[in-house]
Structure 1
């Protein structure tokens, strides 16, 4: 069967696209690489045909790709992303929307949409992606996968096309906790701040209330089973606005020079976001940067050595016509880890109706490996 062009930009038959460079702990694993990562001999397409046409052929692998290959994994192919990773729905105006194998008729979630669908469909065992505002955690929740957003800067982003460097992280998805953790053994440094042996878990009614009733119930059950204690943690009213303003300013700083005069190459939704990004003034960007820095310090102080349990996304995977209705609530949830620069693991849970959702564990900075181990124990 030919590869689905909504899911894959490059996937040779028979594969792989790139064989392992040596044997290792990931022997037998196959990786769907988001189309933002450099793969030797290929171009970075960033979900946009005009960008792809002008992109140079890469001479070296991105750091994360090279590490996975050196650990025994093979690159199955290059999987789709939304344009410049600036969206959360999974829809790409040029190539279509990758399907959601776990919730047919519903969106896949983005912007790591192609790798997520490839993993959910069994066409790869690992999805290598990026998470700026939830782009690993949201598709993980929508498709019943495990997803990891590391501490900001823990995994080098060398060879990865940026969107907003203050928030960009290299992340990954898998169908099971063991594979997710083995990838972490390859990509993550040793924990600077391991979680306590008996970590305290906390949850917040205010954060749970951002989710739809079915997701709130599923994540609430997970939190109760994990022994999470209720705390008073409500999102600050201006938290998301500061995140989005700084993200927009950085996105335009990174891509504005190329996009100036090329807005017609973008799909409507992403074009609108970049037009708003163009309009962010220097004073507004600096005010947002100050607000984000203050909020990061407050989030880290409030969390301490505890682990916060909250929904990975505010709803199950919506139907296409409903996608924008849940965006704000989802980003209010995902921006907690994004602004905090904190590691976050999305653990698959199911609603009473049998649809996939995600419970997210957010830990202190530098606790990535022990957070992955905790997530595995809680779900196992």
Structure 2
């Protein structure tokens, strides 16, 4: 079978690309690695052919890759990302849009698009990705997968090409809760915040209301079945504006020196984001950083020692022509965990029309392992 270059950049046949270096809880698992992580002997392509052409061969594995290999997993290959991970649709102007096996004709979701599709298609059992503004949770919801964005800073990011360090996290996806949790055993530190077995779950009608009716109903049903109580939690557009400004400022600080005279190497959508990012001044960036810090404190205070249930995305996977329409509503949802620096697990749910969607569980900082346990119970 010909290699689908919209999904994979490197995938040897027969594989794997990298054999396990040890044995453990991940024996037999195969990993699709997002093309932002260092894999020894390979280059990091970041979804951009010009970057790939200039990239050096990596001499060592990224921390997360090395730990997965030591626990018995094999690297199946390097899977595609949207350019520099600066998008949520899954579309890459150079390599194409990975298909969505669970919702044919609809987008895959990004920017961990290639790894997610590889897992949904059964070509790997684990997707190693990143989540800055929703890049694990969005493809998880669109493709009916389990996915986690850990507490910010919980998983070592050595050997990872960053986008916006204040929000970047190493995350992963799997087809079932068990595999998601086993990866957590390898990558996550011991919890710093305990969650009791009867941890209170809460749901906000205002946050549910950001989602299309079929997604709202599916997520609301899971929350009701779990006995979630009501939470007073309104969407905060000012939070999202601050998040987007700081993310853009940091993205330009990271990539601007290389991109400054290479903007023509970018696809139109990502180029537009970097063009706006380059215009953000020092004062605006500092103002946004202060606003994010205040919002983070408020989010953590609102959540307390509870678990918030909300839609992972505002819609089911859109068709390509509608891909940008729901972006703002989705990011109003995803930015809660992103700004809060909180762990978030996307649990697959199915809408009345049979399409996949996601219910997102957001827990206190440092409760990652316990949150995976709670999510597994709800999704069983």
Whole-Å Cα distance in 1 between the matches of residues 223 and 367 of structure 2?
20
User: Residue 135 of structure 2 aligns with which residue?
Assistant: 135
Whole-Å Cα distance in 1 between the matches of residues 159 and 195 of structure 2?
31
User: Residue 251 of structure 2 aligns with which residue?
Assistant: 251
User: Residue 336 of structure 1 aligns with which residue?
Assistant: 336
**TM-score after normalising by structure 2:** 1.00
User: Residue 261 of structure 1 aligns with which residue?
Assistant: 261
* Runs ≥4 residues deviating over 6 A: none
Whole-Å Cα distance in 2 between the matches of residues 91 and 209 of structure 1?
27
Whole-Å Cα distance in 2 between the matches of residues 151 and 158 of structure 1?
16
Per-residue displacement from partner, 1:117-151 (whole Å, max 9, x unpaired)? 00000000000000000000000000000000000
Are the aligned partners of 2:130 and 2:172 in contact in 1 as well (CA < 8 Å)? yes
Shift of 1:231: 1.3
Whole-Å Cα distance in 1 between the matches of residues 4 and 125 of structure 2?
17
Give SS of 1:46's match.
coil
Shift of 1:194: 1.5
Per-residue displacement from partner, 1:320-376 (whole Å, max 9, x unpaired)? 000110000000000000000000000000000000000000000000000000100
Whole-Å Cα distance in 2 between the matches of residues 379 and 123 of structure 1?
23
Shift of 1:379: 1.3
Whole-Å Cα distance in 2 between the matches of residues 267 and 279 of structure 1?
19
User: Residue 371 of structure 1 aligns with which residue?
Assistant: 371
Whole-Å Cα distance in 2 between the matches of residues 203 and 76 of structure 1?
38
Whole-Å Cα distance in 1 between the matches of residues 323 and 243 of structure 2?
20
Per-residue displacement from partner, 1:19-47 (whole Å, max 9, x unpaired)? 00011110000000000000000000000
User: Residue 34 of structure 1 aligns with which residue?
Assistant: 34
**TM-score after normalising by structure 1:** 1.00
User: Residue 93 of structure 1 aligns with which residue?
Assistant: 93
Whole-Å Cα distance in 2 between the matches of residues 4 and 194 of structure 1?
43
Shift of 1:236: 2.0
Give SS of 2:230's match.
strand
Taking the TM superposition and a 5 Å limit, the aligned residue runs for 1:28-177 are: 28-177=28-177
Whole-Å Cα distance in 1 between the matches of residues 352 and 3 of structure 2?
33
Whole-Å Cα distance in 2 between the matches of residues 379 and 26 of structure 1?
21
Shift of 1:309: 0.1
Whole-Å Cα distance in 2 between the matches of residues 160 and 237 of structure 1?
30
User: Residue 187 of structure 2 aligns with which residue?
Assistant: 187
Work out the number of aligned pairs and report it. Answer: 380
Per-residue displacement from partner, 1:255-285 (whole Å, max 9, x unpaired)? 0000001000000000000000000111000
**For structure 2, which runs of at least 5 residues remain unmatched after alignment?**
none
Per-residue displacement from partner, 1:27-84 (whole Å, max 9, x unpaired)? 0000000000000000000000000000000000000000000000000000000000
Whole-Å Cα distance in 1 between the matches of residues 200 and 227 of structure 2?
8
Shift of 1:196: 2.0
Shift of 1:2: 2.2
Are the aligned partners of 1:196 and 1:305 in contact in 2 as well (CA < 8 Å)? no
Whole-Å Cα distance in 1 between the matches of residues 2 and 70 of structure 2?
28
Whole-Å Cα distance in 1 between the matches of residues 329 and 231 of structure 2?
20
**For structure 1, which runs of at least 5 residues remain unmatched after alignment?**
none
User: Residue 17 of structure 2 aligns with which residue?
Assistant: 17
Give SS of 2:76's match.
strand
**Root mean square deviation, CA, Å:** 0.5
Shift of 1:237: 2.9
Give SS of 2:128's match.
strand
Are the aligned partners of 2:236 and 2:332 in contact in 1 as well (CA < 8 Å)? no
Whole-Å Cα distance in 1 between the matches of residues 56 and 41 of structure 2?
9
